[in-house]
Chains A and B, each alone.
Chain A
């Protein structure tokens, strides 16, 4: 099936630093979603993007829907220890007949 390329695979950062991660696809998507998964739990939806160029914030998190509709970015400002986890991007295609496609995730570690 379709695949999303998510990078980086993992990040180690100091508390207080800003974080950026991105997701790219060879296909156009109508919706981009960002999830966070804590260890041993199910992913939780952080931000949903529905329009090319859209920039949406949720507290210290900001995500953008790329103009080409083939990429999306997630930024976390002033990271804190509870930001630790795996962040997944997901995309929904044009047809609406296929389920979400997920990236492989970015594992974030925050050093206090």
Chain B
């Protein structure tokens, strides 16, 4: 089936550790995005990529890093520099340029 797969669904990490969230899509979409969602908040853009080997910072990029080595993959690393990493993380993709975005199921990260 075509879609966007985020893994794992739930992730627990100790404070001070880096953690990488996976996002894979088989829709042949050019653009991919990472959003963060906190309770009662909307979706805040962390990073996005419109083409392989290129990405741009979103509104809240500090403490995060990404790579786009393959069209279908856009992993997000939450570094120890992120002050408040516990959140629900959503990956999305869109067909070409910035158009309708389609979302994965999300990863809930809890840092203890």
Contact = CB atoms under 8 A, between A and B. Distances in A.
A85 interface: no
A10 to B, nearest CB: 9
A42 B58 contact: no
B33 interface: yes
A40 B100 contact: no
Interface stretch (A54-62, A66-74, A76-84, A91-99): A91-99
Interface in B68-93: 90, 92
Interface of B: 4, 6, 31, 33, 35, 40-43, 45, 48, 58-59, 90, 92, 97-106, 108
Interface of A: 1, 6, 31, 33, 35, 40-45, 48, 88, 90, 92, 96-100, 102-105
B105 A42 contact: yes
Given A35-B103, A96-B97, A100-B101, 9 more contacts: A31-B100, A40-B108, A41-B106, A42-B103, A99-B33, A99-B45, A100-B98, A102-B43, A104-B42
A44 B58 CA distance: 21
